[in-house]
Chains A and B, each alone.
Chain A
Amino acid sequence: MTQSVQTSCHGPVPVETEGMPLVVLVGQPNVGKSVLFHHLTGIYVTVSNYPGTTVEVTRGKGRVAGDEFAVMDTPGMYGFLPITEEERIARRLLLEERPSLVIHVVDAKNLERMLPMTLQFIEAGLPLMLVLNLMDEAERAGVQVDEDVLQRALGIPVVKTALARGQGVEAVRAAVAAALRGDTSPRQSPAVIRYPDQIEQAIDRLSRALQGEHSLSRRMIALLLLQGDEEIVAMVRQREPNPEDVLRAVEEGRQAFADTPMLEIALALRLRAAELAGQAISVHAPAKPGISARLSEAMMNPLTGILLLVFTLFLVYEFVGVLGAQVLVDFLENGVFAAYVNPWVDALLGRVVPWPWLRSLFGGEFGIITLGIRYAVAIVLPVVATFFLAFSLIEDSGYLPRLAMLIDRVFKKIGLSGRAVIPMVLGFGCDTMATLVARTLETRRERVISTLLLALAIPCSAQLGVMLGLLGGDVRLLAVWTAVLSAVFLLVGYLAAQVTPGERPVFYMELPPLRLPTVGNVLSKTAARMEWYLREVLPLFVLASVLIWVGQLTGLFDLALALIRPVMHWLGLPDQAATAFLFGFFRRDYGAAGLYDLQATLSARQLLVATVTMTLFVPCIAQVAVMFKERGWKVAVGILVFVVPFALLVGGGLNRVLLWLGMM
């Protein structure tokens, strides 16, 4: 069974759904599957306006007419034959689970492009329902759809919706109820499409050779085998009584075609889809290309695009770096914790706890409340909250795919395609989530390079926020910090591209329409991410306080500090900075928060060296876990072994350069 990893600030808690009928949501990327999942289950999974938002399966529970059913949200897939890892995950689900209902969510205005997949689901014998979503956009584009025509031609229920506006949700629920009450055993696939004779004959012969039990129709298995689908070949070897006979039949079938019949099959599907769409759709004079078309154009024009990028970064800085990291942090840190919480906790402990050793667990310099909770709530939370809010707006607008196009040429120099812009930018929110999203990249080389860069040079929102708070008072420092990190990013990327073997990256991506972010989604997403964040960070921060407490009692803490001190000297930092770096091993943001406490005692040069080193330093535990799981231990260990000494090298080097320049 596919289980989603719950390692970090990116996923909801799993739900128990044993024994319930299963409804699976599938379809092309960016069509509204995750919005529908939220409507059916009440569970929020990330919804954003770019293809490839969902990269793992989420399971939830829905209820219609008193009956409970399990619902699964899946990553978008482009076709029935998967290419990238997240597509493979979605299809594996269809091969392994026996869903009672499969809901194919599509973009109504691009029906012709969507229907080939619908036809394939029907051919596969899956119990299917079609949801024509984004009807509001279709209508604005002058597209009208007659769902009855489709319903009759395809023999499946068809529902029109505009899910982001809540339209049609009741109709979907009613259709789900009807489908779950009805017969859900595997169906005889209706003849929705006929391929060229040669292919039909090959399918017939192969279907007859198949004897095992499969979750897909024999016709579909035959089609996939003819197209050389390796996962299906493996399945045949496992489940067929005489796999060799089948594979020989596949070879014979394929001989009739120069290469594979892939192109012919795709064309036949597409022609049939065009025919169906032609019957079901009428197009009226669409609205004139409006402001969104012009904005889209401005985002992609290099000149205006770069101006817009700078302007966006400036707004984000004002909101996160100034409002979040300075105003709000100052208020919570000085106005709340220093003024009320900490003195109150210490006073209370002084009264009720007679033993100083126990008092120091909760209060004092490193206590759970006075340090752990204070860091999490007063220093990190305001920044994370403002960042996620600003970030949601950007994600939902559709800006990121356009940025990907704009930056593709630069990224090629570091061995990545423009598509990698998406995990890189997500990394500024949460590096762990971003490492997972690197799944959507096509080649292993791109996945490895982006994992390295995320681990090294992309500070997550928590860390970024504290850095902004530390350096934000002085624009020059911030400029140097940004310049050093950008240089490291490009240089390491460039070198990694030289030494990592593999194919050259290519770039192609769908540009979704620009959309006006909805208040509801922006707030839900921000709230969900803050919740995930706190759920991960609070326990770790508390744990760190406890470990430090144990370390202090046993003297190990001082020993560790003594070991780190020479490193501090190499960096030109004072002895106290060792504490922050020790914290940094737990989480970079925790370490950065440690620097926050030292702020007053550091010179500008020391501040710069400390923040640069800390930013490059070890990634957080959750990120390391995902690195191991997604990229394998060799890559993960390799990256870690590189990152720590490299961070210290850059920090020490920067210190010497700054000293030599006599700048600070």
Chain B
Amino acid sequence: MTLLLSSSVTELPLSSAGDVPLASLRVGQEGVVTVLAMRDEARLRKLMALGILPGARLRLVRRWPGYVFQIGFSQFAVDEDIAGAIYVRPLDASAAADL
């Protein structure tokens, strides 16, 4: 079990070449959020208040009919639009495997 909790936010340089949208993670794969690419400021704020903000470490739980992922002890469901706007840096497969 990877400790997600107190280390779930870290300072990190935003955005780099290896970033992919959440929508392209595999089920079970982990990633660290780097960029929230959306124009609607209010929505951005709400996502951040939910804990979905750069530096947050997440794990994809389900892809269909909606995207479900886990951050810390909470699960969130989002649609394709949002899943396409959350960019993450995938963590390597071994980190995902022991979850």
Contact = CB atoms under 8 A, between A and B. Distances in A.
Contacts, number: 135
A112 interface: yes
B9 A266 contact: no
Given A401-B77, A506-B79, A507-B78, A112 B45 contact: no
A79 B46 contact: yes
Contact of B75 (A285, A442, A511): A511
Interface stretch (A170-178, A271-279, A526-534): A271-279
Interface string B52-95: 01110000001011101001111111110110000000000000
B92 to A, nearest CB: 22
A83 B79 contact: no
Nearest to A83: B42
A408 B50 CA distance: 19
A286 B1 contact: yes
B48 A405 contact: no
A109 interface: yes
Nearest to B11: A271
Contacts of A508: 46-47, 50, 76-79, 82
A262 B45 CA distance: 8
Nearest to A276: B6
Nearest to A28: B49
B79 A79 contact: no
Interface in A65-94: 78-79, 81, 83
A263 interface: yes
Contact of B77 (A263, A274, A285, A404): A404
B98 interface: no
Interface in A264-307: 266-267, 270-271, 273-274, 277-278, 281, 283, 285-286, 296-297, 300-302
Nearest to A301: B62
Interface residues of B, number: 38
A397 to B, nearest CB: 15
Given A267-B53, A506-B79, A510-B76, A405 B45 contact: no
A417 interface: yes
A274 B6 contact: yes
Nearest to B52: A508
Interface size bracket, A side = 35 or more
Contact of A78 (B6, B41, B50): B50
A266 B53 CA distance: 8
Interface of B: 1, 3, 5-9, 11, 41-51, 53-55, 62, 64-66, 68, 71-79, 81-82
Given A408-B77, A409-B65, 17 more contacts: A78-B50, A79-B48, A81-B42, A83-B45, A110-B73, A116-B49, A117-B49, A143-B5, A262-B45, A281-B5, A402-B77, A408-B66, A418-B79, A506-B79, A507-B82, A508-B50, A511-B74
A511 B77 contact: yes
Which of A277, A417, A508 counts the most chain B CB atoms within 10 A? Answer: A508
Contact of A408 (B6, B46, B65): B65
A406 B64 CA distance: 9
B5 A283 contact: yes
